[in-house]
A and B are shown apart, each in its own frame.
Chain A
């Protein structure tokens, strides 16, 4: 025997440590990858929440306003044009001057007026419109602070408070008001009750939320029946031939077509060819229907496929026709799976932005839409619009809107998961 030549087991043993180290390294790579993914998720969520939490509160300033008819320039309260043109800003300004009687210089006074949002005037107009009796009375009310003031007050205790265009005097006034309790942080109702605005403190997501709701309604009403019908045809009726294959390939490809292409389709067909108006939820819903249809067809087919053939055979054996088998047995059993697919499709549609930009749902719309034919925008597009605005208060509101959007998506997906768990049957 030649003792110089190493045996196989020696060779193996010599490399073993190295191979084990490689094994460890490989596992660590795996864990690191997953860790990276989860870390991104965590960073994304904390970033959004930390930026957006402030959007749900807003600072209000207490003012004692004197609704003096002379100051307002109202002689006849029943005259609507007088009511519309009255000098509400003047009254608000007077209230501010009364609060800070020491401020005398014109420039300073202008700065002082900047503490309060323009919405204060509209608020007074509303009050008088609803209750003309209030004319001549003295009211104590909480009005919205200006967005810069609000942002400063929120970041006051941070390491680097936001000062923006504010000067030291204004900051001093804000601090006085905060100390005396005449300026307080409250729940930001405006965010949920008003439409878009150029002024951050007056901007809300109600219009966008309703726009999203109408758009999704159109999408659901169209895509669910068509999707289910197509799935039933393909699973139960379609003969195995070239044409059926063609439809199947089509559906699979459509599921992977970029969403912006659907926007181009909507622009060319619905708006330019059929002459439908731009920016309305109806067209948005049509575009999103075409986009979510493949998702719904694919998941409905899976649900129908999971119903065992024995059910069909039993029903056929009892004399049911094909349509009766489908309507009375297959569809009810497949319904949970189809609904899950539909909810997931709707969640996709709710988060979609790009195709809606193409059909003009990106306009600046203050009015809250009342029907599927009114110009509207949707929540993701509102986020896109606000994210372009330079004001810091808009960044905060953008994050706030994102939180609302994510909350809806989480809700929808949770419902889908629960539905699946609750109703899923093992055959």
Chain B
């Protein structure tokens, strides 16, 4: 498995992390190394019928349909880096 710089850039874009050209280089090497190490999984024999299931087999808990939350606009917005008129603000999105 080889990771070229374009792949590193593509992943970084997906993950929304800006990388400098040097970082593309260095992360590329590290990812390459880690993925090579992870490659050892490919040799593992997996019998048919093994399901990729989470380990715990308990039942999914459900809650009843009641309004128990909300009305806390101040709390919701307390840590907002930028807000106006009870909205969160971000740089304008051009569609």
Q: Do these two chains really belong together in a complex? A: no
Chain B residues packing against A (C-beta within 8 Å): none
Interface residues of A, Cβ cutoff 8 Å to B: none
